[in-house]
């Protein structure tokens, strides 16, 4: 089998057997893959700290035709985000972004935009701290890349522009409804949250952060995007529950 070389981001890794690690990673060229790093838990392992959460690495691995798992031969660290984990909230953000990426991407589904989004968001957490705007940007763009995001500007049913009004979200519907079209039990998305979302989707993350968006608006639109992701994943995000607990405990 030929040795493949690529850039990758480590999504998760688990102990395997006596001293190995099972690693889930996003290969920039080939998409999400899983592989075994032999001896990675042994002292003086050649993998060092390359297999930590969201490590940006250069990776060499062997693909085996008959097996799902690749055999990881070597890794070189390009950029580590291990230091960010000393901050509780930043650690949860990284875990949540990794969990989302792993859940939304099919195995071997090429996903360069998701790769760049993940790296961009992790770097922004390093520069600006774990701002809710970063999570809002990451989750909204993930929903859009997945093809699940409706318009934040107008009603999905009658087409009326929200203008200064709130939109209404119902689980499983890809768009928002206006006051007239909404069902009774749906959740409102405030105009402030909608405006944070529009800025996030129309420009760069840097621009969104410079605009110093409303904290509650960022959290609200982020929560809307995470609800859509959970609906499509058909399960709750584990790290999201930690995020809520962490905040209420402050
Ligand atoms: Zn309507």
pLDDT-based confidence at 2, cuts 50/70/90? confident
User: Tens digits of per-residue pLDDT, 193-226?
Assistant: 999 999 999 999 999 999 999 999 999 999 999 9
Output the CA torsion sign for 10, 12, 16, 18: positive
Taking 70 as the threshold, does the pLDDT of residue 246 lie above it? no
CA of 184 to the centre of ligand 1 (A): 13
Pairs from 115-123 (Cβ < 8 Å, separation ≥ 24): 115/9, 115/26, 115/28, 117/141, 117/142, 117/145, 118/9, 118/26, 118/54, 119/9, 119/56, 120/205, 121/93, 121/97, 121/205, 122/54, 122/56, 122/81, 122/84, 122/94, 122/97
CA of 4 to the centre of ligand 1 (A): 52
Residue 244 pLDDT? 61
Q: What percent of the chain has pLDDT over 70?
A: 97
CA of 228 to the centre of ligand 1 (A): 20
CA of 161 to the centre of ligand 1 (A): 8
CA of 188 to the centre of ligand 1 (A): 13
Taking 80 as the threshold, does the pLDDT of residue 30 lie above it? yes
Residue 185 pLDDT? 83
Taking 60 as the threshold, does the pLDDT of residue 245 lie above it? no
CA of 129 to the centre of ligand 1 (A): 38
């Amino acid at each position: 089998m030929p040795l493949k070389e690529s850039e990758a981001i480590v999504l998760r890794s688990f102990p395997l057997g006596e001293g190995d690690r099972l690693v889930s990673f996003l290969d920039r060229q080939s998409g999400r893959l899983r592989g075994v790093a032999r001896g990675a838990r042994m002292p003086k392992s050649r993998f060092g700290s390359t297999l930590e959460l969201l490590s940006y690495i250069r990776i060499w691995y062997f693909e085996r035709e008959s097996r799902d798992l690749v055999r990881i031969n070597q890794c070189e660290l390009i950029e580590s985000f291990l230091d960010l984990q000393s901050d509780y909230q930043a650690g949860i953000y990284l875990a949540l972004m990794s969990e989302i990426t792993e859940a939304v991407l099919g195995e071997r589904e090429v996903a360069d935009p998701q790769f760049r989004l993940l790296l961009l968001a992790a770097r922004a957490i390093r520069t600006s701290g774990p701002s809710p705007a970063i999570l809002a940007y990451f989750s909204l763009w993930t929903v859009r890349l997945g093809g699940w995001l409706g318009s934040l500007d107008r009603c999905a049913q009658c087409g009326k522009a929200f203008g200064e009004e709130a939109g209404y979200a119902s689980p499983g519907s890809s768009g928002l409804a206006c006051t007239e079209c909404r069902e009774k039990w749906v959740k409102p998305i405030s105009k402030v949250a909608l405006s944070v979302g529009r800025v996030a989707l129309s420009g760069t993350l840097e621009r969104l952060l410079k605009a110093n968006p409303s904290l509650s608006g960022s959290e609200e639109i982020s929560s809307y995007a995470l609800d859509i992701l959970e609906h499509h994943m058909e399960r709750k995000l584990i790290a999201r529950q930690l995020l809520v607990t962490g905040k209420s405990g402050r």
